[in-house]
Structure 1
Amino acid sequence: MSSSTFVFLFLLSFLTSFRACAQNPTYVYRICPNTTTFSRNSTYLANLRTLLSSLSSPNASYATGFQNATVGQPPDRVTGLYLCRGDVTPEVCRRCVAFAVNETFTQCPNAREVTLYYEECMLRYSNGNILSTLNANGEFSMENTQSITSNLVRFTELVLSTMNQAATVASNSSRKFDTVNAFTDFQTLHGLVQCTPDLTNQDCLDCLSRIINQLPTDRIGGRVMVPSCFSRFELYLFYNEAAADRTPQPQLNSAPPPPPPISIPSPRPGESGNSTVIVIAVVVPTTVIFLLLVAVLIFRAKRKTTAYETEPLADGDDIATAGSLQFDFKAIEAATDKFSQENKLGQGGFGQVYKVLINPLLTYFSIYINMLRLCIKTIK
């Protein structure tokens, strides 16, 4: 054999093996009590082979992800089922079940009662009646290695409430399956719960409630599995979200809704020709204006007595007359309809708030601007 042919055959064998390995389901756990066993030439073994062949046949119900069967008569009767995770495709389900069937006699060679867990499916059989019967024994749990370092109580409450919400939805559905999302601290909590569909709604809810309380909520992820149901949560998306027929869940810990927009009222009847707006019409007491003017004059007087003043104020920046800062009370009274209660909007930090016409509003704003301008120039 030439070297090139050898290399080609080696690569072909390697790629074929790699592809087959990549398609293998991920093994998780097994339950093989070995309390009762069977011999290699027993009737039970023959019935078991028939059962496993039926469950892994091309005509099995991979689209529904669940099937059960019973073969033989007591004491050699065997009952079995498979359950594929609710978010996997029928083809992934078929491959997982076929792989589990082939692994049965390797994982649990002589046991009459076996449960094999894979990421994508579960295979179970027994010499007892396991159909439509709640079994929460043989609990198996796994947890993420990373612990919750802050807000443990809050995180625990979120996990339990979210997973119990999913359990309620799953128990009332025909598939006995649900996934759920919740949002916390800029991260998304992903959860998945599932029961075998042969359980009643109440049995499914009881099973899920029991194992949800056993979840390792002090970690950022974990799962608990029993023969009749399982649950899992993570801070990353571990299931096929597109394939899971998930009911949208309300967002938790979301920001509060924005405040409603402020509406602008229409003019009152008879106020044609002038638009009205909502403004803060501040009726400033005469005392405040007087104190402000006194403070400005005192400050200017002190500056003139020091040697640091280098130039006089420019023309027009000084206070020309006292009348330039006086308010026309009659104009304010007319603009607010004599301070009527209909025009009153509320109470502000400087007095009562009224709705006024646009022209008086501009007048008052110009007064405030002039006052501010004079104070700035004076300080400079």
Structure 2
Amino acid sequence: MRMETKNFMTPLRISLCFILLFLTTTSAQAPVYSYNSCMNSTSISPTYKTNVKSLLSWITNDSSISKGFNYTTISSNNGGDNDGYGDAVYGLYSCRYDITGYFCQFCLTTAVNEISRLCPDSVTAILWYDVCILRYSNQSFHGKVSLSPTWNVTGPRKIKNSTETKRIEDAMEGLITKATIETKQFWAVEEFDWGDNETLYGWVQCDRDLPSDECRKCLNAMLEIFPQCCGTKVQWAVFAPTCGMRMDDEKFYQKSDDNGTSTSRKLIISFSVLGSVALLCFSVYCFLYRKRVRKDEMMLDEETLNGDLPTIPLITILNSTNNFSKASKLGEGGFGPVYKGILPDGRQIAVKRLSQFSGQGSEEFRNEVMFIAKLQHRNLVRLLACCLQEKEKILVYEYMSNASLDSHLFDDEKKKQLDWKLRLRIIHGIARGILYLHEDSRLRVIHRDLKPSNVLLDDEMNAKISDFGLARAFEIGQNQANTKRVMGTYGYMAPEYAMEGLFSVKSDVFSFGVLVLEIITGNKNSGFHLLEHGQSLLLYAWNIWCAGKCLELMDLALVKSFIASEVEKCIHIALLCVQQDEADRPTISTVVLMLGSDTIPLPKPNHPAFSVGRMTLNEASTSGSSKNLSINDVTVSTMLPR
């Protein structure tokens, strides 16, 4: 699966897309979870489990290039289909006849992930979605009818009278005949005029490896089930492992035009009109192409981006966000808007749609996807998938239901829910996340925009750092870098970064120190000097600490829950982190040790850095604004190989 590899093909591609849209009547449907059947075993062998994993991997890859159906056998001794040694896994996948390419692959990728979760120790497993089925067993089932287990579903609408049940049976019998005798295509669809300006839509389909007579046998068995399970309903479906049928009062499939003359006429008109448009677009494009930056000519190959990160079809993202509606919008980041989405299986996601004006080119996006997909830690927000269709550059993250830390910390009512035990846990979580970025991940990552709005909270209020932005590889051994493009948020920037563009791991340590002081005080560093104190939060905390009155810094909401020694230690550590000279600041690994120990002596902190970029209470951030974001302002991050 590749995006377009040559830029000069863009106008022609656009024209062809117009033609396809002109001829298409119904868009492909996103997968909806239906049913699963798992035969678990406590004696399943490790070899069999390994073979199952290999099968699922094969399904994910093969579905992108097949015509929506295939089967195989995975055996540790390569015994083939006739292998009978118990460790062989026989697998099959099938998509509805009109679901191919991206949509088939996405349904099956979703199914692969779910069957691994739902059936981890199964010898035999089946997972149905409305548009695809995935199946494996330790017994060969290729070309054989399987009628167990069966599954059915019905809609709320009922038929008008009992005579309609017989009409529906007759209609479906006609479809079975069409699929198995007339066309022998293993599937058939039809629109039925039901009277009173009503149309019903029917569909039948078998596995494509079944002979016609076996397909008919399977479909007839499903039709026999219909009166008992679904005979009073207008909307219904019945499935077995090797076949299925469905009827609905809404069109749920995509049917090609069978009228050759009409299709030809449409093609002639389309090519006549759009051919001229394509020529004009091509001419304009050739002129503009000379001015384009060469680096954006690079090829974006989704297979090379896939690795550990799945791709997701654009149509699924559009459906999940209601076409990027205003109601779905969570906020605006530095590189584009962020939306809340709901996948067909009910999972909530955060969708970051990178703006074409963001300044992030193909190479930077590729680096971000390739790198961030490898970052896996409980205190980092997880990147789930990406999309590179139709010139869109989209990242899909896990959704954080409790939004960002700032939405709680700086709200007079919500902050009351953050007792000291919870705030201390959040501090520890942020520190562990930074430690992973700085020392435990494959490359050393400098975040450069640590702040409360970039710390998200999950269902259990665990802290997760978000936004790792545009990753960039540095030379081996390099511990510090310089940039002319300073990105981040005033109030959280280390002085050497804000004033000179110099950044290192100590830049993030400085930001962490500011974060800790804000968590303890419940006040923002930016604008703090406009309060009655008349000085920055850092300087005010320093003076209070020197006077031995640390607890006066504490948020009043903590009065009933604080532990004095823990509060004092956290303030002390924060002041060590915000020292003016970066050489005096501890590393994050030292910070984690100090947070977790009551016996490690803490050095006396030097004077903190002066507040950089004083702003009003309504702080203007160079990274953009947010409202209850799950993936907040996009941030430039930097990678340093160890």
State the TM-score bracket (shorter-chain normalisation).
0.5 to 0.7
TM-score, L = length of structure 2: 0.33
Partner residue, 2:244: 230
Higher helix share: 2
Secondary structure in 2 matching 1:56: helix
Sort the Cα spacing of 1:194 and 1:246 in 2 relative to 1 into closer, same or farther, 3 A. Answer: farther
Find the residue that maps to 2:203 and give its secondary structure. strand
> What amino acid is the match of 1:25?
P
Corresponding residue of 2:35: 29
**Residues 37, 112 of structure 1: 8 Å contact kept:** no
User: For 1:140 and 1:109, how far apart are their aligned partners in 2?
Assistant: 21
**Partner Cα distance (2:42, 2:69) in 1:** 26
* Letter paired with 2:201: H
Q: 1:106 to 1:209 in 2, by over 3 A?
A: same
Aligned to 1:161: 170
Contact 2:178 2:184 in 1 (8 A): no
1:43 aligns to 2:54 (yes or no)? no
CA–CA distance in structure 2, aligned partners of residues 211 and 228 of structure 1 = 11
3-state secondary structure, aligned to 1:132: coil
Distance 1:32 1:54, change over 3 A: same
Residue 220 of structure 2 aligns with which residue? Answer: 209
Counterpart of 1:90? 101
Contact 1:178 1:246 in 2 (8 A): no
Bigger mean CA offset, 23-32 vs 222-231: 23-32
Give the letter for the 2:70 counterpart. Answer: Q
Aligned counterpart for 2:70 among listed residues 67, 70, 77: 67
**Per-residue deviation, 1:89:** 3.1
Matched residue type, 1:190: Y
Tell me the distance in 1 between the aligned counterparts of 2:109 and 2:200: 32
What letter matches 1:179 in structure 2?
Answer: V
Pairwise CA distance, 1:86: 0.9
CA distance in 1, matches of 2:63, 2:158: 42
Partner SS state of residue 33, structure 1: strand
Structure 2 Cα separation of the partners of residues 195 and 246 of structure 1:
22
Change (3 A) 1:191 1:175: same
For residues 203 and 43 of structure 1, what CA distance do their matches in structure 2 show? 33
| In 2: Cα distance, 1:62 partner to 1:38 partner | 35
Compared with structure 1, are the counterparts of its residues 24 and 187 closer, same or farther at alpha carbon in structure 2 (3 Å cutoff)? closer
Q: Secondary structure at the match of 1:50?
A: helix
Letter in 1 for 2:190: V
1:241 deviates by 3.0
Q: Determine the C-alpha separation between the residues in 2 that align with 1:164 and 1:247.
A: 24
Q: Give, as a single letter, the amino acid of the residue that structure 2 aligns with 1:183.
A: D
CA shift, 1:27, in A, is 0.6
189 and 225 in structure 1: CA distance in 2 versus 1, 3 angstrom threshold: same
Question: 1:171, CA displacement in angstroms?
Answer: 2.1
Q: In the alignment, is residue 218 of structure 1 matched against residue 232 of structure 2?
A: yes
CA 1:146–1:70 in structure 2 vs 1: closer, same or farther (change >3 Å)?
same
Q: CA deviation at 1:190?
A: 0.5
What secondary structure is seen at the aligned counterpart in 2 of 1:92?
A: helix
Query: C-alpha separation between the residues in 2 aligned to 1:146 and 1:221?
Result: 7
- TM-superposed CA distance for 1:240, in Å, is 2.0
Residue type of the partner of 2:117? T
- Cα distance in 1 for residues equivalent to 2:155 and 2:225: 14
RMSD: 2.4
Q: Does 1:131 align with 2:134?
A: no
Partner residue of 1:56 out of 48, 55, 60 = 60
Q: Which has the larger radius of gyration?
A: 1
* Contact in 2 for aligned 1:71/1:77 (Cα 8 Å): yes
CA contact (8 A) 1:70 1:77 kept: yes
* Aligned residues of 1:189 and 1:235 also touching (Cα < 8 A): yes
Q: Distance in 1 between matches of 2:38 and 2:89?
A: 15
The C-alpha deviation readout for 1:158-194, integer Å capped at 9, x for no partner, is 2111111111222244541111111112211110110
Give deviations 1:65-87, integer Å, cap 9, x for gaps: 10001011421110001000112
The one-letter amino acid paired with 1:182 is F
Which of 194, 202, 209 is the aligned partner of 1:184? 194
**Structure-2 change in CA distance of 1:162 and 1:119 (3 Å):** same
Give 5+ residue unaligned stretches, structure 1.
1-22, 249-380
Distance in 1 (alpha carbons) for counterparts of 2:259 and 2:39? 38
- Kindly tell me the number of residue pairs found equivalent between the two proteins: 220
Whole-angstrom distance in 2 between the partners of 1:247 and 1:29:
37
**SS, match of residue 39 in structure 2:** coil
Report % sequence identity.
30
CA distance 1:54–1:168, shift in 2 (3 Å): same
Distance change >3 Å, CA 116–CA 139, structure 1 → 2: same
Given the superposition, is the C-alpha separation of residues 100 and 29 from structure 1 closer, same or farther in structure 2, using an over 3 Å criterion?
same
Asked if 1:122 is matched to 2:133, the reply is yes
Deviation at 1:214, TM superposition (A): 1.7
Gaps of 5+ in 2: 1-28, 76-82, 261-642
Letter in 2 for 1:54: W
